[in-house]
């Protein structure tokens, strides 16, 4: 899921019991249950990272590396292409929904959908496909559900970019078993108008900064967002005020008004181009100051790459664009096209009633195996 503000920490303390070994001969649905039963709220991933590392080190066809609580395992078969399968191992805080429960074919519990089902699929592929048709890199990372600067994939990209090298990446975030290509970028700027304070009974002595924002809002209301087609996917942009604030007191002409604008843009634009576009949009408005509040680049879907085309053919369905920002952008920044593809339902993520259909987990495992062994 997209990153969210840090939640009040409920990271479990060190377990008194020895960590149970992960049995990778279980099917992906059963393995999901085992993963859910090892709590790994953001910041408390060590026990689960240890278990994953131990299980992977038992597989002779993989080289295993670790950086903090991030574990990376790779084949080295000299194949023409390398594919990265990535997933975060942390969850949002537990909400009375651990241990997991299997009810009528659905596995309930914290992290079932987002995204221990995806992690289970990664582990099953690692264990059961010793001679894939493409070299494989498995990335298990921490702290995805909290502030961006704690994100384990970000730390790997910064400190060990070579571990993430590849021709194509699949992020197993919940996407309801559909391929979601790339992601849109997001830019947030604050547009400030300035005026002059005065008592509102003598308003002609001042200059109203809220009135000065009128053309900014008019421009936003009239804006026609692009819908560019990239790699066969129709993206859909948006330029919106997400906040406005101005005013000093009920009897004072405001000397300042700030409109916070969020531009969601398709991956054919860079972060710099997105900012340039926003500057152009408001070029004729009385903006006293434009400050960048937040900027995260987009990711190309990469569906024109042969590995991606084969992937799409193997997993079936119709690829769709990812409108929200996700960690695929970190791969894109490293030059690795990436898609989201995972068994969970994104609408159930972060909920007390989070769950995943066992059949969806098995189907995802089967489709990835078919792609990597055909």
Q: Which positions are annotated as active-site residues?
A: 90, 144
Q: Which span (12-20, 46-54, 210-218, 312-320) binds a copy of itself, by CB under 8 A?
A: 210-218
- Paired strand residues for 63: 74
CA atoms within 13 A on the CB side of 368: 34
* DSSP-based three-state secondary structure for 33: helix
**Using the rule CB under 8 A, is 292 a contact of a copy of itself?**
no
Position 242 contacts a copy of itself (CB under 8 A): yes
Is 320 an interacting residue with respect to a copy of itself (CB under 8 A)? no
Neighbours of 155 (CB within 10 A): 18
| 309 belongs to the binding site for a copy of itself (CB under 8 A) | no
Residue selected from 10, 63, 295, 323 as contacting a copy of itself according to rule CB under 8 A: 323
CB of 284 to a copy of itself, least distance (A): 15
Instruction: Tell which one of 29, 52, 83, 257 touches a copy of itself (CB under 8 A).
Output: 257
Q: Give 67: exposed, middle or buried? Use CB within 10 Å, 0-12, 13-18, 19+.
A: middle
Identify each DSSP E strand in 124-179 by its residue range: 135-141, 168-171
Distance in Å, CB of 262 to a copy of itself, minimum: 5
Q: Which two tokens stand for residue 165?
A: 């090298």
Contacts with a copy of itself in 188-207 (CB under 8 A)? Answer: 188, 199-204
Which of 77, 95, 129, 252 binds a copy of itself (CB under 8 A)? It is 252
Please report how close the Cβ of residue 294 comes to a copy of itself at its closest, in angstroms.
7
Contacts for 226-230: CB closer than 8 Å, 24+ residues apart: 226/265, 226/266, 228/266, 228/268, 230/182, 230/266, 230/267, 230/268, 230/300, 230/301, 230/321
Segment contacting a copy of itself (CB under 8 A): 56-64, 125-133, 241-249, 339-347? 241-249
Who's near 328: CB < 8 A, 6+ residues apart? 169, 171, 182, 183, 299, 322, 338, 339, 340
Binding site for a copy of itself (CB under 8 A): 2, 184, 186, 188, 199-204, 208, 210-215, 217-218, 220-221, 225, 236, 238, 240-254, 257, 259-260, 262, 264, 293-294, 323-325
């Amino acid at each position: 899921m997209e990153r969210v503000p840090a939640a009040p920490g409920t990271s479990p303390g060190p377990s008194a019991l020895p960590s149970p070994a992960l049995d990778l001969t279980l099917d992906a649905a059963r393995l999901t249950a085992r993963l859910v039963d090892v709590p790994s709220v953001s910041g408390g991933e060590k026990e689960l990272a240890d278990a994953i590392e131990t299980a992977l080190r038992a597989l002779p066809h993989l080289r295993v590396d670790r950086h903090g609580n991030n574990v990376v395992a790779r084949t080295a078969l000299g194949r023409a292409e390398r594919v990265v399968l990535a997933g975060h191992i942390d969850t949002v805080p537990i909400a009375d929904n651990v241990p997991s429960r299997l009810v009528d074919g659905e596995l309930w519990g914290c992290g079932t959908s987002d995204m221990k089902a995806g992690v289970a699929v990664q582990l099953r592929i690692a264990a059961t496909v010793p001679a894939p048709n493409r070299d494989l890199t498995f990335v298990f990372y921490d702290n995805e559900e909290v502030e961006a600067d704690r994100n384990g994939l970000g730390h790997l990209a910064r400190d060990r970019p070579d571990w993430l090298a590849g021709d194509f990446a699949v992020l197993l975030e919940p996407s309801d078993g559909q391929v979601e290509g790339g992601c849109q970028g997001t830019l947030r700027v604050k547009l400030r108008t300035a005026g002059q304070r005065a008592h509102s009974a003598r308003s002609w002595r001042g200059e109203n900064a809220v009135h000065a924002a009128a053309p900014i809002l008019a421009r936003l209301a009239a804006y026609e967002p692009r819908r560019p087609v990239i790699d066969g996917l129709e993206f859909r942009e948006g330029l919106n005020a997400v906040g406005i604030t101005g005013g000093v007191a009920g009897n004072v002409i405001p000397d300042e008004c700030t409109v916070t604008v969020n531009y969601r843009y398709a991956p054919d634009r860079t972060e710099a181009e997105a900012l340039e576009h926003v500057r152009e949009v408001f070029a004729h408005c009385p903006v006293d100051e434009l400050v960048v509040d937040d900027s995260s680049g987009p990711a190309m879907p990469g569906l024109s790459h042969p590995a991606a085309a084969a992937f799409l053919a193997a997993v079936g369905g119709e690829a769709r664009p990812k409108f929200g920002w996700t960690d695929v952008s970190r791969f894109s920044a490293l030059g690795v096209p990436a898609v989201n593809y995972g068994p969970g339902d994104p609408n159930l993520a972060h909920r007390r009633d989070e769950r995943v259909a066992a059949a969806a987990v098995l189907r995802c495992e089967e489709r990835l195996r078919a792609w990597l062994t055909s």
